[in-house]
Amino acid sequence: MPTWKVSYFSGVGGRSEFMVGQAPAELGVTVVDPGMSDAEKIELCKDADAIISSDVSLDVLRQCPNVKLIQTLSAGYDRLDLSAILEMGIPVANNGGANAIAVAEHTVALIINVGKRLMLQWDSTTKRREWRGGLYLEDLQELTDKTVGIVGLGRIGKHVAKRLTGFDTHTIFYDIVDVPEDVQEELKVEPAEFDDLLRESDIVSMHVPLSRRTRGMVSDREFDLMKESAILINACRGPVVDEAALYRALQDGKIAAAGLDVLEAEPTPADNPLLELDNVVVTPHMAGQSQETNLRAATFAYSNIMRVLQGEEAESLVTPE
């Protein structure tokens, strides 16, 4: 018989079955559909010792007196009322390392895809059956020898930098946290002030958490600083980039193109004007997903929960700014 109870907030389907199957014998896992009413969620969670979720309301938590940890399956925790939850005495831990490799690989894929305009080539050749070789010749960019600016050299940013070493890029970074010199040397990166990074970079790649500090971090002023040939990549959180300002920058030629895995509203409305632009590649917030990510996330989540329920301190705890 399980010793403790865990409520896992997820839609029904393959991942739910996977998560239940990965749980250690000591944990009994109940799947909670996020679309349920609060009353239904409370009924399933009221005896939970831990909750796996990145979006659980305070009204639900107030009826769950046994919860000793809220564990997310990703790096993001912006949908949680962190300050209020911590005031309730419930620690929150994220899972930033689990998807770092997948997001980094997706980021590099977006950089190459946008720079080589692969989606336009695919659309004209495969979908429209039009052989249009040479059409985009003047617009195609190599990644080698480009200056890449990484905004946020955390777990994901470091993995991006590591992968870029194979392309012989000049990689610079901006972060509010000091990065040890030996790490900089290993990753072949150089620090830069944010505005200088924007001015110098051929590619700007965003890898920061969403917070009061980073919401709207890139807007009209920042686009004015960037090169007209620059590419913006956002694979962190949509609201980090002012979407209306991005559209204006792309329309007015302030920057050349963008690769986006995240948008301000998700699912994004079908009439989002960014979807009409041929210099934008959008993927549906899938950068962090992979079979390997799911296994790493589940393994860390359950081990962290076990750690807390056995009286130890959780790893990867998050705190308010």
Q: What's the average model confidence in pLDDT over 136-142?
A: 79
Residues 256 and 213 in one domain: yes
Residues 273 and 141 in one domain: yes
Whole-angstrom CA distances from 128 to 122, 152, 275, 278 are 9, 39, 18, 15
**Residue 320 within a domain:** no
Lowest-confidence region among 4-18, 68-82, 171-185, 236-250? 4-18
Q: What's the average model confidence in pLDDT over 271-299?
A: 95
pLDDT at 120: 87
Residues 145 and 88 in one domain: no
**Residue 162 within a domain:** yes
What is the full DSSP assignment across 52-101? E-S---HHHHTT-TT---EE-SSS--TTS-HHHHHHTT--EE--TTTTHH
With a cut of 90, say whether residue 321 has pLDDT above it.
no
Enter the DSSP assignment of 239: G
pLDDT at 203: 98
With a cut of 90, say whether residue 292 has pLDDT above it.
yes
> Across all residues in the chain, what is the average pLDDT?
94
Instruction: Using pLDDT thresholds of 50, 70 and 90, give the confidence band for residue 12.
Output: very low
Annotated active-site positions, please?
A: 237, 266, 285
**Residue 79 within a domain:** yes
The helix/strand/coil state of 198 is helix
Exposed/middle/buried for residue 309 (C-beta within 10 Å: 0-12, 13-18, 19+): middle
Residues 91 and 147 in one domain: no
Residues 131 and 208 in one domain: yes
pLDDT tens-digit series, residues 57-102: 999 999 999 999 999 998 888 889 999 999 999 999 998 789 999 9
With a cut of 80, say whether residue 273 has pLDDT above it.
yes
How many domains does the chain contain in total? Answer: 2
**Residue 241 within a domain:** yes
Residues 160 and 240 in one domain: yes
**Residue 321 within a domain:** no
Q: Determine the Cα–Cα distance for residues 279 and 256; give it in Å rounded to an integer.
A: 7
pLDDT at 157: 97
pLDDT at 132: 81
pLDDT at 134: 74
Q: What's the average model confidence in pLDDT over 279-297?
A: 94
Q: Determine the Cα–Cα distance for residues 53 and 66; give it in Å rounded to an integer.
A: 16
Residues 272 and 137 in one domain: yes
The helix/strand/coil state of 290 is coil
Q: At what angle do helices 14-22 and 291-309 cross, to 10 degrees?
A: 40
CATH of the domain at 54: 3.40.50.720
Residues 155 and 299 in one domain: no
**Residue 301 within a domain:** yes
With a cut of 90, say whether residue 216 has pLDDT above it.
yes
pLDDT at 135: 66
Residues 251 and 305 in one domain: no
**Residue 319 within a domain:** no
pLDDT tens-digit series, residues 220-254: 999 999 999 999 999 999 999 999 999 999 999 99
Residues 147 and 274 in one domain: yes
Domain with 11, as residue range(s), is 4-98+290-309
Whole-angstrom CA distances from 105 to 12, 101, 158, 159, 210 are 28, 6, 12, 8, 21
pLDDT at 52: 97
Q: Determine the Cα–Cα distance for residues 29 and 6; give it in Å rounded to an integer.
A: 5
With a cut of 70, say whether residue 291 has pLDDT above it.
yes
Residues 177 and 277 in one domain: yes
Q: Determine the Cα–Cα distance for residues 263 and 238; give it in Å rounded to an integer.
A: 4
Q: Count how many residues are written for the chain.
A: 321
Q: CB of 314 within 8 A of CB of 307? A: yes
Q: Give the percent of the chain with pLDDT over 90.
A: 84
**Residue 316 within a domain:** no
Residues 156 and 225 in one domain: yes
pLDDT at 36: 94
